[in-house]
Structure 1
Amino acid sequence: MDLALLRTFVTVHRAGSFTRAAALLGLSQPAVTSQIRTLERQLGRPLFLRQARGVTPTSIGDELAHKAAPHLDALVEIAGTGPDDSAVRTLHLAGPPEFTAERALPALTELSGDDGQGFALRASFGNAEEVLEGLAAGHHDLAISTARPRGALLTATPLCDEEHVLVAAPQWDERIDVGRLCRKGASALENLPVVEVHESLPLVSRYWASVFDSRPAASGTVIVPDLRAVLACAVSGAGLAVLPRYLCAAALERGDIVALHEPTVPPLRTYVLVARTGTLATPHIARAHEWLLGAAAAWY
């Protein structure tokens, strides 16, 4: 079986589209379509179901991808390494901006310069869907996500749990009836301004559902697409916010903000560390994977 055909097939499988695969491979879409049809004729089975938006693999396509992808990735790694095994490799990491910047990158930059055996590091940010799609398509080596991937092409390992805290500037704490908050729950927080990362209030909604068994009544007063900006707005007094404890711990300690509520069981969000199946046999990816898991043991 022609390895070039398999490479095209795996790229299409990961990209979910002939068009995106063609761009990744530097080929025309007709060339990609022709190669997939040739492979399907050789196997005597359809590998993809053509749809209006992209393609969906058949069960035969999924099985072939699961078997072939790790070996193709290993061949690419061998070809990329060349005769000089001491060459510095590049690790491509993707994840949510705040967690990646505050947690993962400081840990990995320490490793990347360790004993001259490190690697060059490239990072990109995105939401869970974006980073997993990019990993599957081969744009990244490792991804940090709050969503577990489906299928066998990606392998996820639990990384750490993130505790969420309901916070606001001290002046808001003085205006909230703590006793009523304990008795009435979320109703004590109605009509208070809210700072969030999205109009759908993802963190506030999760906190309300977990702690108060209800939905937030208010809409977002300030919407900024970065939790670090949410923290800055909360410190300035813009309203209440739900933030990861690691991100706001220093501000809490300084008294810039206060925790409005301390539930017995705080809401948690779990991060997973994801790699393409088979690529953890690659030394620099394996080292980064192991290092991040070790570093995460000390994160709270």
Structure 2
Amino acid sequence: MRDRESNGSAGTADQGPVAGPPDLNLLRTFLAVYRSGSFTAAARLLGLSQPTVTTQIRALERQLDRELFERLPRGVAPVPFADDLASRVVAPLDALASVTGHGGPDGNGPAAPVHLAGPAELLCVRALPALAPLVESGVRLRVSTGLTEPLLDGLRAGRHDLVIATIRPRGRSLTAVPLMDEEFVLVAAPVWADRIGGPARIAADGPAALHGIPLVTYAEDLPIARRYWRHVFGKRLSCQAAVTVPDLRGVLSAVTAGAGFTVLPRYLCLDELASGALVPLLDPEDPPINTGFLVQRPGSADNPHVDLVRDHLLQAGRTW
């Protein structure tokens, strides 16, 4: 076994296996690392220093004479032996935590809040309405918004329990399950659609029909629009945005009011398309689609409400 974690934290030297059953504190620390996917995150959860967590895991590995975690550039991943150990200790340790008053549905207090993070638009338009019945039943939520990569870093560090991500995370320190597919649609207000000549004009002339029409988008580098151009038109989008808003709900509002055209996830503008406030400018046979993922750290969560929120989101995501 190595004596240094990938983040440079020192461990204790290997001294061979130690006889006797594992200490309960070592097993608690093991379970925290297993669930959080990181020595640093486990330390935060346990209220310990990171070197202390490293030392305790090294001690447990010596007692068991087995390595428990593979050190990754970001965090750690359990080896198969650790998966088996976790399956054997999780129920007794959780039961003990309940008896000693760590909270939960069967404990002495309410379960801790579930820390959920993801894109602001998807959380506000889809996730939070879907979770409303759970809130009424006593589930507490702490919601954060932002871009996927920083949110995944926060998940690895233990700041979030669940993240809705627009990409599948790399590596094995996080587990990801497909949540939904979002379809992108090219839209504008009717006044611009009439001026352009409608979908028939764009189908015939391609993106040249949009020349001179203001583009409203999420960011200066036009991430969603560029992807649409590449996928549908097979061309590189080379124009500047007239308006940028770092919230797709703002993009939707501006375009509905007549500011120009844009590319939006269909789920976000369903009502406007149904009412005629927005018009689809093209109906390609193969529209661009992006898969969203529900991501968490490996292992069972300390808080049973995390699993409840996860399962509820996965069920609701089938209809999104």
Q: Same fold (TM over 0.5)?
A: yes
Check 1:10–1:234 CA distance in 2 against 1; reply closer, same or farther (3 A cut).
farther
**Deviations 1:210-232, CA, capped at 9 Å, x for gaps:** 11111212111111100000001
Q: What amino acid is the match of 2:170? A: R
Contact conserved, 1:118 with 1:284, CA < 8 A, in 2?
A: no
Say which of 155, 160, 163 aligns to 2:180. 160
Match runs of 1:1-300 below 5 Å: 79=97, 80-81=102-103, 84-85=106-107, 87-89=109-111, 90-113=113-136, 117-178=137-198, 179-279=200-300, 283-299=304-320
Partners of 2:203 and 2:35 lie apart in 1 by: 49
Q: What amino acid is the match of 1:123? A: V
Greater shift after overlay, 238-247 or 70-79? 70-79
Q: Matched residue of 1:279: which SS? A: coil
Check 1:104–1:36 CA distance in 2 against 1; reply closer, same or farther (3 A cut).
same
Greater shift after overlay, 233-242 or 178-187? 178-187
Partners of 1:216 and 1:157 lie apart in 2 by: 32
Runs of 4+ displaced beyond 6 Å: 1-45, 47-50, 54-57, 61-76
**Deviations 1:250-287, CA, capped at 9 Å, x for gaps:** 11222222111111122211111112111258532222
Greater shift after overlay, 135-144 or 36-45? 36-45
Contact conserved, 2:217 with 2:251, CA < 8 A, in 1?
A: yes
Partners of 2:301 and 2:231 lie apart in 1 by: 36
Q: What amino acid is the match of 2:122? A: F
Contact conserved, 1:66 with 1:152, CA < 8 A, in 2?
A: no
Q: What amino acid is the match of 2:172? A: A
Q: Matched residue of 2:282: which SS? A: coil
Identical pairs, percent: 48
Contact conserved, 1:77 with 1:282, CA < 8 A, in 2?
A: no
**Deviations 1:174-201, CA, capped at 9 Å, x for gaps:** 2214444212312222332111111111
Q: What amino acid is the match of 1:269? A: N
Contact conserved, 1:112 with 1:119, CA < 8 A, in 2?
A: yes
Q: What amino acid is the match of 2:110? A: V
Larger radius of gyration: 2
Partners of 2:157 and 2:83 lie apart in 1 by: 14
Check 1:100–1:86 CA distance in 2 against 1; reply closer, same or farther (3 A cut).
farther
Looking at secondary structure, tell me which structure has more helix per residue: 1
Deviation of 1:173 after TM superposition, in Å, equals 0.8
Partners of 2:152 and 2:70 lie apart in 1 by: 20
CA RMSD of aligned residues (A): 3.8
Runs (5+) with no aligned partner, structure 2: 1-21
Q: What amino acid is the match of 1:258? A: V
Runs (5+) with no aligned partner, structure 1: none
Partners of 1:273 and 1:169 lie apart in 2 by: 33
Deviation of 1:106 after TM superposition, in Å, equals 1.0
TM-score (norm: length of structure 1):
0.76
Q: Matched residue of 2:107: which SS? A: coil
TM-score (norm: length of structure 2):
0.72
Check 1:211–1:2 CA distance in 2 against 1; reply closer, same or farther (3 A cut).
farther
Greater shift after overlay, 31-40 or 176-185? 31-40
Q: Matched residue of 1:149: which SS? A: coil
Partners of 1:83 and 1:21 lie apart in 2 by: 23
Contact conserved, 1:73 with 1:278, CA < 8 A, in 2?
A: no
Q: Matched residue of 1:101: which SS? A: helix
Contact conserved, 1:16 with 1:56, CA < 8 A, in 2?
A: yes
Partners of 1:92 and 1:167 lie apart in 2 by: 34
